[in-house]
Amino acid sequence: MNEIRQNHHMKAAQPNRKLILWLAAIVLLFLFGVILVQTGHWTRSSELDHINTKAGDSLNVYTGDLQIELDKFEALPYILSKNPLFLQLLVELHDTKKLDSVNRELERVNTLAETSAIYILDKTGHALATSNWNEKVSFIGEDLSFRPYFQQAIQGNPGRYFALGNTSHVRGYYFSAPMFNGPEIIGVLTVKVHLQRLEENWAKGSEKVVVTDPHGVIFISSYRPWQFRALVPLTTEAVQTLRNSMRYGDIYPDSIGTGQLSSDKNGLHFISLKTDAAPLVDGKTSSRTDRRYLIHSHNMPDAGWTVHVLSDISHVDGQVRNIVLLVAFLLVILFLSAALFYNKRRARLKQNEFEAHSRRALQEMNEQLEQRVHERTRELTLTNIHLTREVTERSRTENELRAAQEELIQAGKLAAIGQMATSITHEISQPLAAIRMFAENSLILLDEQRQEQVRMNLNDIADLVIKMSRITSHLKSFARKSRATLEPVDLEMAVGNVMVLLSMEMRKTGTVCHCTVAKETYVLADQVRLEQVLMNIFSNALDAVTNQPEKLIFISSEKHGDEVKLIVRDSGPGIAEEHIENIFEPFFTRKQQGKGLGLGLSLSRSIIKDFGGRITAENHAEQGAVFKFILKSCHLEEGAHK
């Protein structure tokens, strides 16, 4: 009865639980949306404030630079207007010699002051003298009475004006001052200043800087395509005024802006520029939508213009989007982490129940396993004892085999020396007989006081002793019983040592050896055992050519990558095809009884294998057998490591 009631309550609670979950999901989605919207607003506001602050600081710098540039030349026309030479020209208008002096002086001052031009106008506004008098474009004779700076100065006031040059078509800022002869104004002195240097410096910054006249026409710009274009669309009256004043010559400015000016609640001002007027961003083509800029402005009433800094805000939307996506990602991670924690907690409770049940089952299984392990351990212990005995026996057998192989190698060396005993005895007996003859001869020469002949005999005796010492040292080294150690071995030297021991036998049989082993060829081997292998192969080659009409042995070397190949070829009858595969087997020999046990080639292959190399045998296409040794190449400095 209680179970039925409990099931009834659980079924009734399921719809309520689903409703709560749906309501929680809706609330979470609403909170996510609010957080993301607020994040976007905050990010946009923060980034725009940063751009605005930076633009304000930059505007102060640009305005200061511009003001300093203007202040630098403001007093120049007033000072020059007091120059007696210039005043005298206006009094004596037809003095050509004085005109030439004035032109040259104006040219000198213009160069020193680094201005664009300096010129003098008479009362009618015609240029009498100018610093560019000797250039193709000269102001002399030009009627500039329509310029406001002339009209201001002719009335006794300092003049200021900026415009495009009527003759030179070069932009400039004009400073003018009246020239007095007593109380009478007799002319106007004008200084034209170019501002291109400021534009070049401004162009290096990240902001766009423009200077506009009262009508909004851009006179100075860090972005060249904006020059002489209006920041906002001009009214009909403004266009007519510009035409009448001829401030920009025959240029009639069009607008780069769409006319959309806006401000936000934080007091920031924005302007929209036409697509074709907006500069490219990072070299990429702009989209067809108008681009908005944050604009920061400062009015300069003395100069008659306004300085603007335009900051591109096209990247703000991308930053807002990235921040919103990041926050959304973090919120999702947070939500998933909470859900994961909840699921882990539920899973942990279920796991605890499962572990309690499993623990009891495991305890029963452990008891059974312990019994089985005990039985199996007893069996493995007996097996291990048996294996230990077998390993010990095998190790002992291997040591005995290794010792036997060492004895075989040593016996092979001694056998080779025994075979060469007659030749070596003859090699040593001849120098000994010569030494005896030289000694007896020297005694006679001493009695006759022939010291020089005695010295020559002693030198000959020393050479013969060196020759015998070389032979005995090779024999001693070859016969020494030593433990094999791998080290760099000079292959040419090893071949030469063996050839010394076999030289008498070769002369006796009339065998000619052609050796072309490369110099400074080092292989990884044990020198004594390598020479034993070479002795065995060379001796076999001598035996093979004994009954041949042409007795030749060829020894050469080749290097391929990290391997060195030593090739030994004879002019003997070669190896029977049916025996090639068996010649390296122990006790295999084709020699007569008593000439060998057939272990030489088997031991040679074993020794070469210990060096990490290999040996092969084949018949030459023309005549004779060919044995090839492939050994590892190395350098002298590898010896310590190996």
Strand order in the sheet with 614-619: 512-516, 552-560, 563-570, 625-632, 614-619
Q: Are 229 and 300 in the same domain?
A: yes
Average pLDDT of the segment spanning 346-359: 82
Q: Are 213 and 242 in the same domain?
A: yes
Please report whether residue 47 resides in a domain: no
Q: Which residues contact 457 (CB under 8 A, 6 or more apart)?
A: 438, 439, 441, 442, 445
Boundary-marking domain end, from 316, 342, 374: 316
Which 8-state DSSP code applies to residue 273? E
pLDDT at 280 over 60: no
Q: Is 613 helix (H, G, I), strand (E, B) or coil?
A: coil
Q: Are 190 and 219 in the same domain?
A: no
Q: Are 152 and 202 in the same domain?
A: no
Q: Are 631 and 492 in the same domain?
A: yes
* Domain count of the fold of the chain: 3
Residue 592: what pLDDT? Answer: 54
Boundary-marking domain end, from 253, 287, 316: 316
Q: What is the number of helices (H) and of strands (E) in the chain?
A: 13, 18
Q: Which range among 165-174, 437-446, 500-509, 607-616 shows the weakest confidence by mean pLDDT?
A: 437-446
Average pLDDT of the segment spanning 510-538: 89
pLDDT at 427 over 70: no
**Reported confidence tier of residue 283, pLDDT bands at 50, 70, 90:** very low
Q: Are 256 and 133 in the same domain?
A: no
**Reported confidence tier of residue 191, pLDDT bands at 50, 70, 90:** very high
pLDDT at 422 over 60: no
Boundary-marking domain end, from 194, 225, 249: 194
Residue 638: what pLDDT? Answer: 55
Please report whether residue 17 resides in a domain: no
- Which residues sit opposite 514 in a β-bridge? 554
Q: 160 and 67 in contact (C-beta within 8 Å)?
A: no
Residue 640: what pLDDT? Answer: 42
pLDDT at 53 over 70: yes
Q: Are 240 and 144 in the same domain?
A: no
What is the pTM assigned to this prediction? 0.43
pLDDT in tens, 63-100: 887 888 788 888 889 999 898 989 888 888 777 788 88
Please report whether residue 502 resides in a domain: yes
Please report whether residue 49 resides in a domain: no
**Reported confidence tier of residue 331, pLDDT bands at 50, 70, 90:** confident
Q: Are 99 and 156 in the same domain?
A: yes
Q: Are 148 and 256 in the same domain?
A: no
CATH of the domain at 608: 3.30.565.10
Q: Are 180 and 214 in the same domain?
A: no
pLDDT in tens, 297-328: 888 877 677 888 877 777 777 777 888 788 88
Please report whether residue 610 resides in a domain: yes
Please report whether residue 526 resides in a domain: yes
pLDDT in tens, 472-505: 655 555 555 556 678 999 999 989 888 887 887 8
Please report whether residue 172 resides in a domain: yes
Please report whether residue 351 resides in a domain: no
**3-state percent helix, strand, coil for the chain, nearest multiple of 5:** 55, 20, 25
**Reported confidence tier of residue 185, pLDDT bands at 50, 70, 90:** very high
Which 8-state DSSP code applies to residue 638? G
For residue 121, what are the domain limits?
75-194
Q: Where are the alpha helices (DSSP H) in 114-254?
A: 148-154, 196-202, 236-245
CATH of the domain at 204: 3.30.450.20
More confident residue, 178 or 438: 178
